[in-house]
Amino acid sequence: MGNSFGKMFAVTSFGESHGSGIGVVIDGCPAGLPLIKEDIQQEVDKRKPTSPVATTRAEAEEVEVLSGVLEDYTTGAPICLFISNRDVDSSPYLRDRFLPRPGHADYTAFMKYGGFNDFRGGGRFSGRITAGFVMAGAVARKLLARLGVDILAHTVEIGGIKAGTKEVAEIKRNVAANPLRCADLKAAEEMLKLLEKVKAEGDSLGGVIEGMALNVPVGLGQPVFDTLDGELAKALFAVPAVKGVEFGAGFSVAGKKGSENNDPLATEEGRVITITNNAGGILGGISNGMPITLRVAVKPTASIARSQRTVDLQKMKGAELEVKGRHDTCIVPRAVPAVEAVMAITLCDFALRARLIPEVLP
Amino acid sequence: MGNSFGKMFAVTSFGESHGSGIGVVIDGCPAGLPLIKEDIQQEVDKRKPTSPVATTRAEAEEVEVLSGVLEDYTTGAPICLFISNRDVDSSPYLRDRFLPRPGHADYTAFMKYGGFNDFRGGGRFSGRITAGFVMAGAVARKLLARLGVDILAHTVEIGGIKAGTKEVAEIKRNVAANPLRCADLKAAEEMLKLLEKVKAEGDSLGGVIEGMALNVPVGLGQPVFDTLDGELAKALFAVPAVKGVEFGAGFSVAGKKGSENNDPLATEEGRVITITNNAGGILGGISNGMPITLRVAVKPTASIARSQRTVDLQKMKGAELEVKGRHDTCIVPRAVPAVEAVMAITLCDFALRARLIPEVLP
Amino acid sequence: MGNSFGKMFAVTSFGESHGSGIGVVIDGCPAGLPLIKEDIQQEVDKRKPTSPVATTRAEAEEVEVLSGVLEDYTTGAPICLFISNRDVDSSPYLRDRFLPRPGHADYTAFMKYGGFNDFRGGGRFSGRITAGFVMAGAVARKLLARLGVDILAHTVEIGGIKAGTKEVAEIKRNVAANPLRCADLKAAEEMLKLLEKVKAEGDSLGGVIEGMALNVPVGLGQPVFDTLDGELAKALFAVPAVKGVEFGAGFSVAGKKGSENNDPLATEEGRVITITNNAGGILGGISNGMPITLRVAVKPTASIARSQRTVDLQKMKGAELEVKGRHDTCIVPRAVPAVEAVMAITLCDFALRARLIPEVLP
Amino acid sequence: MGNSFGKMFAVTSFGESHGSGIGVVIDGCPAGLPLIKEDIQQEVDKRKPTSPVATTRAEAEEVEVLSGVLEDYTTGAPICLFISNRDVDSSPYLRDRFLPRPGHADYTAFMKYGGFNDFRGGGRFSGRITAGFVMAGAVARKLLARLGVDILAHTVEIGGIKAGTKEVAEIKRNVAANPLRCADLKAAEEMLKLLEKVKAEGDSLGGVIEGMALNVPVGLGQPVFDTLDGELAKALFAVPAVKGVEFGAGFSVAGKKGSENNDPLATEEGRVITITNNAGGILGGISNGMPITLRVAVKPTASIARSQRTVDLQKMKGAELEVKGRHDTCIVPRAVPAVEAVMAITLCDFALRARLIPEVLP
């Protein structure tokens, strides 16, 4: 259970890291959206490990469109997208099957599924699962583009090194040009140096990703439970390693007065705006038309080469573990497209719930 | 839409701040749970404004059980719980109907519902809505108690003043004895002083609440989308004024190495534990049997007496607003029972999904 | 579980026959619909027992609007509607608590809820539950009226006596004027005579209700699973005593050839129609713009005065039962408004899913 | 939307008749179920056209397991099953793209999806879609077998020829041995003769399928809306060409008295049974432990060779159509496994909702 997300744009995830492949079914995509394989491939390719501190697993990640598209247009039927796994090496996992990696889902998955879970490469708990999110996100983005909505995420912190604030145009430009997906190129250089050092120590680093959605219409969100922030947060926690989500001023509100934190309202070109955006574009669980801004805490990669204390689940006694496998020293940069994808999926679902996208596109 | 939460323990919220009352329907509560009105009243009473900086609205908040209980036991039918509103004064709202309060949902609600929304006292966006959460939470807690699960929240920061770390027993003792629901009594004193000062300035303060769930069984959570952390976060964002949610080490993971952040595993009395709990009791979206720990950022009350810039939505031009009404200087203490309630509802739903609670209680 | 229906127009039912009352929460009703108590009362009053063979329980059935309406317009918030129970006599049920009535849900409810179910007056399994459906249906009808959709049900068979076919206008006129809600007044007279005879024998009768929806837009229904016929059928089986549902030619298709059953297409005033309507207005789970026609089999009232064989569930041995209480000899006429109501709810949900009704009504 | 069914055993359908293939994702299958491709292939093979009056489309229908199974056991992760399409000939559909077949979903699909729908071979509205139901049903059956539940469907009427009543053992034996899946071999012979005659006339026939579920535990079903009969009916209407569903005595209740229709209760081997089974095993939407019996009306194949009146949707004027393609003269026999499959899926979902199947199988 729990592998579907969205009410009107419903995404169902399937597949495992070392199984046949990774897939997703999208139910609710309106008919008449131009959609070719390359639209999706292009987003998936953003996940490719390009930095010197990323995994050496080399997946072609070629997208197949198994249903829901005819003559390069969506048909209104469920769209199944699939990527076959190719470069799989399950040997380290077979050896350490009963030695859960500290900080990883190995132990909880083993317990929940009685040891039947696909443990190879983390199975369902691998970051590779986000390839499915990214495929669905590619479709969601195309739909949102119809409304003018633009979604953007970037690395703002790794291992304590913080990126400076940049304008949107600069972020877009620099993120694409940068293996760490950080808009502050000077900070990115420092981050990379630190990552290389930490990699040599057999260790890993965490960080923070900022997500933004621009030109979001006023009125998205269905409180009291299906709030825009609540659903975005839920979707973001589906990205492995996320430990915190905050909107606008986030946790800094704890030290603020109302007079500082409240965003004054004003009019601009006939519409209402706020002078500041401490709300991060969301009030009462509903978008207010200002940019949605959120920040996501990503923990350091759990799989590290250094020796760690664990428990042998067969013998139920303590053991030492050195994780082999091919792991990213920091997954933050590769989580950036996943953050964008789940933001897109969530916003698309709310746009459909608000009837902003018809059943058949014009 | 969006007023129901939970798949097996489904809570539907209704009611407004200044309408007939606040209600909730619980669908999925097993039959055979002893339940009397007082069980629920007792939790609801925790919401009562007791501090000198809280609202002066004096609601009796008397719970009525409208369905689902026979001879003091749940019947397996939906349980409807209702609190009538009594001490209502809508006059300030009538006057300022078209002047949205900065930082409040007035503007987004107006836009989403075309001005038809119940604006009196914030309507559906009032903190008063959480009375419904607390009623449902009271039932959830009784069910969770069967599994030994204990849920606890407390104020850990107000206006930049942080509470010191305390043991669970001390937290329980002090929270009840303290209008700010803060376990560090010395810090609570300072907080209160600051609140009185800020109140005199016509201003307000934010803070942080910590939530804990103890004795949670291993295996709660339904990844990849219905993760335990994701659903808890979604539920917490239903509590008005929440701007961030983090689990375990939370945002501090951004500055940590994997070797620091990974919680080493060990055995204790025949079960697996972790030596530290940076994971906050959740790995891969599934509980690992350690205490669930989370922190919630609560923004300062939006309704402040100080003059603020807003927009007159009828004339579509700038205006000044001084919010009258009866508002808490800081809603953190009164949000504490709401945090506990939504945690209980979420955990109860997952316990049911994991078949840990039968359809008929023994 | 299972007390909510609808995805965009979500109806949650609560309450029991002999409890505090019967209620319903509607989540998803757009803002800006004019709605006063009388709109709902008027539909509820159709349920009143008026025939000489109906129950003598005399309920005022006064509707209360507990939320979701402000200044006689819907607000977009959940609408809670409630009817208090007044004329309750639980004594016969207390006596026969462990003697399940043959043909009634007494036994299954006892088993499913471990004997904790509210058995008084059938509890959740009473026809009285449909008062909640009718309240929600009243709101759905008002929304559907905006699209020109008209819903109509009437008795077409009781105890083997079949009504002749009538035009829509005649049906409307006669149904209202007739305690059996049968459009064929001559047949109705015979039915009444038969019912009086059967009542005297301490027995009961079943029948058939026909439901129609006129002016339904083309395109309602969400196959493959959320078909228009499938969801209508599911909703109709929520009406107690329904044992079969068929659309258009229904079971008679078993004896037909394709050339007889296929409805030829033609154009009329610029739109496509079918010459016949064996499809009952639904093809492939989607409305085709022709009238939706369906027929519902309603079993004879299970509660009869004649002695019947049952089992004493405490002693687990055979017993005889003569049902006392105040029961309709035939529930068909009083199920007619319930059929209309669940049809309206279902169609309204699909109209919302098809984005035919905006979030805020113009 | 609408391509998922089930709350705890959630089945998502995708694929088209002439696209890449037909697939299904099952979310909620417990871990630890032994499952190999052959388990599913065996059920899928029952759909094979074997009678002389069936389609000549020759599909290998080879099942692929794309996820959710490791070392021949289910893992608890979503199971994706897929059948590639091979023997596809879309030419007749390309020619008649704008000439909707009377009695078919061509017109409604065209309208709902704005002409973007995959029209080739009926696309999503082809009987071929039921291959996905059958794959999911195969898994559901294996789970239900753990509870002893046995599901069985057979042809009881074609073109007005009715099969005689048979015992369960005889039904099982004869259905497998018989291209029409009719347990009355003599009637089957007559049916076949009639079918050959009708086929020669370029026409088609409808019929009735009976479904049974044996050894169903007491207590399945979640009233008031998620009744066992309601959900079964909804699932059955997902099978193309179904126009009616009835349970137990079904529509015949209209002519019965309560004293005839009520099933007297008795005890047998320490449990409660009913002497007759007019209820079809369901009372108040909940199983009573007796066999579930239902009947499904299946209309004659809409695609017939005889000339029919239709409308050219491009020119919006009348036209004549002779359907080419390869169509079954009667789809009743090939719908039999689909009926079994959706019954299994529905019952499995309810068994899970009733916590009768754990998250990990023992």
| pLDDT tens figures, B212-252 | 999 999 999 999 999 999 999 999 999 999 999 999 999 99
User: For residue A222, how many C-alpha atoms fall within 13 Å in the half-sphere facing its CB?
Assistant: 27
How far is Cα A248 from Cα A228, in angstroms, rounded to an integer?
13
CB-CB under 8 Å, C25 with B1: no
Q: CB–CB of B283 and A103 under 8 A?
A: yes
- Confidence class of residue B1 from pLDDT cuts 50, 70 and 90? confident
Interface probe with A: pick from B27, B101, B161, B234, most Cβ of A within 10 Å: B234
Would B270 be classed as within a structural domain? yes
- Per CB-CB distance under 8 Å, the chain B contacts of D354 are 359
Is the CB of residue C228 less than 8 Å from the CB of residue C286? yes
Domain of residue B16, CATH code: 3.60.150.10
- As a whole number, mean pLDDT of residues C312-328 equals 90
Using one digit for the tens of pLDDT, what is the confidence trace for B138-158?
999 999 999 999 999 999 999
Q: Which of residues 119-178 of B touch C (CB under 8 A)?
A: 120, 123-124
Residue with tokens 């010395």: B186
**Which among C67, C77, C114 has CB closest to B360?**
C114
If you average pLDDT over residues D54-74, what whole number do you get? 90
Q: What is the DSSP letter of A99?
A: S
CA distance A119 to chain B (A): 13
Residue B349 lies in a domain: yes
The torsion region of residue C130 among left (phi > 0), alpha (psi -120 to 50) and beta comes to alpha
The per-residue pLDDT for C54 is: 79
Judge whether C362 lies within some domain. Answer: no
**pLDDT one-digit tens code per residue, C146-202:** 999 999 999 999 999 999 999 999 999 999 888 999 999 999 999 999 999 999 999
Query: C42-56, C338-352, D121-135: which has the minimum mean pLDDT?
Result: C42-56
Beta bridge partners, D325, equal none
Q: Is residue C361 part of a domain?
A: no
Mean pLDDT of B275-289: 98
Distance from C-alpha of C355 to C-alpha of C351, rounded to nearest angstrom: 6
Tell me the pLDDT band of C57, cut-offs 50, 70 and 90: confident
3-state secondary structure of D182: strand
**Residue D74 confidence class, pLDDT cut points 50, 70, 90:** very high
In a domain, A361, yes or no: no
pLDDT reported for residue A93:
81
Task: Specify the pLDDT at position D250.
Answer: 98
CB contact under 8 Å between D4 and A10, yes or no, is yes
Over residues A68-98, the pLDDT tens digits come to 999 999 999 999 999 999 877 888 788 889 9
- For D89-158, the DSSP string reads --HHHHHTTTSPPTTSTHHHHHHHTTT-S--GGGGGGSGGGHHHHHHHHHHHHHHHHHTT-EEEEEEEEE
Between B260 and D88, residue with greater pLDDT: B260
Q: What is the mean pLDDT of chain A?
A: 95
B7 touches chain D (CB under 8 A): yes
Neighbouring CB atoms inside 10 A of C315's CB total 10
Here the tokens at position A169 are 């145009």
DSSP-derived secondary structure for C286-326: EE-SSPEEEEEEEPPPS--SS-EEEEETTTTEEEEE---S-
Q: Which pLDDT score is estimated for B348?
A: 98
Beta bridge partners of A273: A266
The strand pairing partners of C226, in sequence order, are C222
Residues from chain C contacting residue B23 (CB–CB below 8 Å): 66-67, 80
Residue of B nearest to D224 (CA): B77
Outline where chain A has alpha helix (H). 37-45, 91-95, 106-112, 130-145, 168-176, 185-200, 228-236, 258-261, 332-353
- Chain C residue with CA closest to B353: the answer is C1
Task: Output the pLDDT for position B201.
Answer: 95
- Please say if the pLDDT value at position D104 is more than 90: yes
Say whether residue B26 is in contact with chain C using an 8 A CB cutoff: no
Q: Which of residues 207-226 of A touch C (CB under 8 A)?
A: 219
User: Which of the four pLDDT bands, split at 50, 70 and 90, describes residue D273?
Assistant: very high
- pLDDT average, residue stretch A101-110: 97
Q: What mean pLDDT is predicted for residues B193-208?
A: 96
The total number of structural domains that make up chain C: 1
Taking CB atoms and an 8 Å cutoff, what residues of chain D touch B354?
359
Mean of pLDDT over chain C: 95
Q: How far apart are CA D110 and CA D119, in angstroms?
A: 8
Residue-level pLDDT at C60? 82
For chain B, how far is it from start to end, CA to CA, in angstroms? 36
pLDDT number for residue C178: 87
User: How far apart are the C-alpha atoms of B203 and B224, rounded to whole Å?
Assistant: 42
Report, as an integer, the average pLDDT of B60-71: 95
Residue D357's pLDDT is what?
A: 97
Identify which has the larger pLDDT, A52 or A133.
A133
Which of A13, A29, A75, A125 to mutate to test binding with chain D, by most D CBs within 10 Å of its CB?
A75
- Tokens of residue A207, six digits: 């960080």
pLDDT score at A63: 97
Q: Which residue among A8, A355, A358 sits closest to C359, beta carbon to beta carbon?
A: A355
pLDDT of residue B87: 78
Per-residue pLDDT at D157 exceeds 90: yes
Record: contact A2-B257, CB cut-off 8 A: no
Per DSSP, the three-state class of B171 is helix
> Which residue is it, tokens 């016929």?
C229
Judged against a pLDDT cut of 90, whether residue C227 lies above it is answered with: yes
* A358 CA: distance to closest CA in chain C (Å): 7
A240, closest residue in chain B (CA to CA)? B284
Q: What confidence score (pLDDT) does residue A2 get?
A: 97
DSSP tally for chain B: helices H, then strands E:
9, 18
Instruction: Assess whether pLDDT exceeds 80 at residue D325.
Output: no
- pTM attached to this predicted model: 0.98
Distance CA(D144)–CA(D215), nearest Å, equals: 10
B354 interface with D at CB cutoff 8 Å = yes
C-alpha B360/C-alpha B33 separation (Å) is 8
C359 near A CB under 8 A: yes
State the residue for tokens 């699209």: C147
Measured in degrees and rounded to the nearest 5, phi and psi for residue A164 equal -75, 160
End-to-end CA distance of chain C: 36
Kindly state whether residue D362 falls inside one of the protein's structural domains: no
| pLDDT per residue as tens digits for the range A257-312 | 999 999 999 999 999 999 999 999 999 999 999 999 999 999 999 999 999 999 99
Three-state secondary-structure class, residue A180:
coil
- Closest alpha carbon to B297 in A252, A242, A262: A252
pLDDT digits (tens, 9 = 90+) for C1-32: 899 999 999 999 999 999 999 999 999 999 99
B51: confidence class by pLDDT, cuts 50, 70, 90: confident
Give the neighbours of chain A: at least 3 Cβ pairs within 8 Å.
Answer: B, C, D
Nearest CA in chain D to B352: D355
Q: What is the structure's pLDDT at D298?
A: 98
Whether residue C358 lies within 8 A of chain A, CB to CB, comes out as yes
Which among B3, B257, B267 has the least Cβ separation from residue A300? B257
- The pLDDT of residue C129: 96
Q: B59 pLDDT exceeds 80?
A: no
Smallest CA-to-CA distance from D152 within D216, D84, D66 is with D216
Please, which residues bridge with residue B133 across strands?
none
| Partners of residue D24 on adjacent β-strands | D13, D81
| Interface touch B358/D355, C-beta < 8 Å | yes
Percent of chain D's residues with pLDDT above 90: 90
**pLDDT > 90? residue D219:** yes
Q: How many CB pairs under 8 A join A and C?
A: 12
Q: C343 CB contacts (<8 Å, ≥6 apart)?
A: C137, C151, C153, C211, C213, C232, C235, C236, C292, C294
Residue D146 in domain: yes
Residue range of the domain that includes C215: 4-353
Of A3, A233, A258, the CB nearest to B245: A233
pLDDT, residue A49, reads 80
Within a domain: D361:
no
Residue of chain A whose alpha carbon sits nearest to that of D9: A1
Q: Do C67 and B4 touch (CB under 8 A)?
A: no
Chain A residues closer than 8 Å to C8 by CB: 353
In the prediction, which pLDDT does B275 show? 98
Instruction: Tell me how far apart the alpha carbons of residues C27 and C8 are, in angstroms, rounded to a whole number.
Output: 8
- Give the pLDDT band (50/70/90) at residue A24: very high
Of A236, A227, A356, A354, the closest CA to residue A281 belongs to A227
Residue from D299, D322, D350 whose CB has the most chain C CBs within 10 Å, to mutate:
D299
Mean pLDDT of chain D: 95
Task: Give the closest of A31, A67, A117 to D19, CB-based.
Answer: A67
The number of residues making up chain A comes to 362
The mean pLDDT of A205-224, rounded to a whole number, is 98
Spatial neighbors of C320 by CB under 8 A, at least 6 apart, are C307, C308, C309, C310
